[in-house]
Structure 1
Amino acid sequence: MSSLALPGPLVDVHWLAERLDHPDLVVLDAGVGAHRGEPLPIAGARVFDLDGALSDHTDPRPHTMPDAAHFTAAVRALGVDDRSTVVVYDGAGVYSSARAWWMFRAMGFDRVAVLDGGLPAWTAAGLPRAAAGSAPVTAGDFTAAPRPGLIVDSSTVLAALADGTSAVLDARTAERFAGTAPEPREGLRGGHMPGAVNLPFGELQRAGRMLPPAELRARYGELVGDRERLLFSCGSGVTACVLTLGAELAGYRDLAVYDGSWSEWGLPSELPVATAE
């Protein structure tokens, strides 16, 4: 059987349903908290645990990227090979699955796509779900090859805010961006990075599915003008990746996610914060 090619970074539920039996396919449930598909996931799905093995627990910030060795070990344990084709989904639509997608990309793996609409779209289409089981998984041979610059730190964001050729987009709600609503994590300042642009991640979706590329391109263009270098932030580096996915679908290619996001920037520090006047 020939290798399984993806149509792009986003696949629909019917594309996936028609290929569930392909030997190269690995389906991963990347939901967090209540947005995980258990106990009735898509048949054969394995858990890409962003709250567990797929975060760096030596870092006090939530959902930070593990190093290449830890990522390799965790992904191999899910049965992913270097030749695999991976589809990630979550129980909210397109939410934390985009984080898993970008983590794979940052680790040098391109045969990965997000399931548009996630588990809700799968269920609405009448496609089967299966009881979560403990079927043994044969360890894969996946090896991470990190790409510098796809996951960035606060110094890179500071430079981008100042250089005039990049745009920094924040996926949090308008109220949190303005500093008029409290942050859900204790000890964080309210507001946003001076010069950042607010794009709540839900504005890129309709009924849990990503907007068409032309609509996405128009939305980004309204906010960033002719800037092509885009950096993304949110609360903890998860929904920033929804913006990254939207930008990729819209045709942007020079993209990065600020891993610390507001969980780092919002801490009391010398990093500058602006609020609504």
Structure 2
Amino acid sequence: MKLVNLIGAGILGAAAQMASAAGLPGPLVTPQWLHEHMNEVTIVDIRDDMKTFTAEPKFEVDKKTGKKDLVQTGGHLAGAISVDFGKIREERTVDGVKIKAQLPTAAFFTKAMDDAGLNKTDKPIVIVPTGESVDSMDMATRLYFQLRYFGEPRDKLAILNGGVNAWLQAGFPVVADKAATAPGNWTAGTEDKSILASMQQVKEGLQKGSDQFVDARPTAQFLGIVKKPINKTAGHLPGARSFPTDAIVKPVGAAHEFMTADDYKKIYAEFNIQPNAPTVTYCNTGHLASGAWFVTHEILGNQNSKLYAGSMIEWTNLGNPTVGLQ
């Protein structure tokens, strides 16, 4: 009887362990999926306005329909750890020039994750932005990229599509308590350089014509009509194709969501972007471009897609050429 009990306990224990390590359905999860698997994943909230983490969301009732509409982001998913987007990148010196908002060192990123309370576990990580804008969704993709780059496997990472706003619109609750302050024990692993393009690799790709360059900034910046003050010159990389910021996600109520692979194939065709060609995405600092990389690499499955994390801030401040109106 004791042996039978031990075997039974072992089977139940193994089943519980398998249940606690639920597989992710893909790089994106829905609010419904996350609601059903909250205890089986690590939820990582990322945003740049940290006040909203402990604020209550605001709703307005449509007088005609009686429908309650979300009008202001607030709160977070229960149990989430909090990551400040402004603290996951660092200033680096390249060829004697200080460049802001660059891909951090392993030590810097490890500290940022540990300060946020991220632990090394077998649980998958679900990244949750606010979802209020394309900028917000691309904060999630930038954190996703860095976790991938520093060793987290693809099958252990996902983003909540539409973020907190989609969660609220689905009728699920949020909390407004302060984030836990206990330090984590996450550590950066082996760097996956297959998803990162260096400035030298960009130069070589331009010279050989071997890579497709995709610019993820607003159209006016791509054309050189305007430029960010952080960039020395306006315009885009020679031969680059525009995948403008407002085409990366679609608004759904107060949320912004990534689309399907079929949708992106149609969108890429409109912008003359080849979904399966060797591709390098870039923007100003590698923030918006991480969204374009996520679409190309993770949703469309183009494993020969890289993010130029240095982007235009590095490219222009080190004197490299651009094409544009100015």
Q: Given the two structures, how large is their TM-score scaled by the length of structure 2?
A: 0.76
The answer to whether the aligner puts 1:126 opposite 2:171 as a matched pair is yes
Q: 1:41 aligns with which of 71, 76, 98?
A: 76
Letter aligned with residue 90 of structure 1:
P
The answer to whether the aligner puts 1:188 opposite 2:204 as a matched pair is no
The answer to whether the aligner puts 1:27 opposite 2:43 as a matched pair is yes
Deviation, 1:123, is 1.6
Could you say which residue in structure 1 is the equivalent of 2:139?
A: 96
Deviation, 1:276, is 4.0
How far apart are the structure 2 equivalents of 1:252 and 1:126?
35
How far apart are the structure 2 equivalents of 1:264 and 1:175?
20
How far apart are the structure 2 equivalents of 1:7 and 1:75?
24
Deviation, 1:221, is 4.5
How far apart are the structure 2 equivalents of 1:194 and 1:58?
25
Letter aligned with residue 240 of structure 2:
A
Between the aligned residues of both structures, percent identity stands at: 23
In 1, are the aligned partners of 2:31 and 2:160 still within 8 Å (CA)?
A: yes
Q: Which moved more, 1:160-169 or 1:10-19?
A: 160-169
Letter aligned with residue 30 of structure 2:
D
Could you say which residue in structure 2 is the equivalent of 1:11?
A: 29
Letter aligned with residue 32 of structure 2:
H
In 1, are the aligned partners of 2:215 and 2:283 still within 8 Å (CA)?
A: yes
Could you say which residue in structure 2 is the equivalent of 1:151?
A: 196
- The 5 A counterparts of 1:159-178 are 159-178=204-223
Q: Which moved more, 1:219-228 or 1:183-192?
A: 219-228
Deviation, 1:258, is 0.9
How far apart are the structure 1 equivalents of 2:235 and 2:245?
17
Q: Which has the higher helix share?
A: 2
In 2, are the aligned partners of 1:217 and 1:251 still within 8 Å (CA)?
A: no
- The 5 A counterparts of 1:69-84 are 69-77=107-115, 78-84=117-123
In 1, are the aligned partners of 2:286 and 2:310 still within 8 Å (CA)?
A: yes
How far apart are the structure 2 equivalents of 1:166 and 1:172?
19
In 2, are the aligned partners of 1:174 and 1:198 still within 8 Å (CA)?
A: yes
Deviation, 1:152, is 2.3
Letter aligned with residue 32 of structure 1:
D
How far apart are the structure 1 equivalents of 2:100 and 2:164?
24
Deviation, 1:45, is 1.5
How far apart are the structure 2 equivalents of 1:36 and 1:149?
35
Deviation, 1:227, is 5.2
Q: 2:286 aligns with which of 237, 244, 247?
A: 237
CA 1:49 to 1:191, structure 2 compared with 1: closer, same or farther past 3 Å?
Answer: same
How far apart are the structure 1 equivalents of 2:215 and 2:50?
23
How far apart are the structure 1 equivalents of 2:182 and 2:158?
21
CA 1:82 to 1:157, structure 2 compared with 1: closer, same or farther past 3 Å?
Answer: farther
**Aligned length in residues:** 272
What secondary structure sits across from 2:192 in the alignment? Answer: coil
The answer to whether the aligner puts 1:250 opposite 2:300 as a matched pair is yes
Q: Given the two structures, how large is their TM-score scaled by the length of structure 1?
A: 0.88
In 2, are the aligned partners of 1:68 and 1:107 still within 8 Å (CA)?
A: yes
Structure 2, unaligned stretches of length 5 or more?
Answer: 1-15, 56-74
Could you say which residue in structure 1 is the equivalent of 2:185?
A: 140
CA 1:214 to 1:102, structure 2 compared with 1: closer, same or farther past 3 Å?
Answer: same
How far apart are the structure 2 equivalents of 1:136 and 1:178?
45
Computed over aligned residues only, the root mean square deviation of the Cα atoms, in angstroms, reads 2.3
Could you say which residue in structure 2 is the equivalent of 1:201?
A: 245
How far apart are the structure 2 equivalents of 1:179 and 1:34?
33
What secondary structure sits across from 2:37 in the alignment? Answer: coil
In 1, are the aligned partners of 2:81 and 2:180 still within 8 Å (CA)?
A: no
Letter aligned with residue 206 of structure 2:
L
Structure 1, unaligned stretches of length 5 or more?
Answer: none
Could you say which residue in structure 1 is the equivalent of 2:315?
A: 265
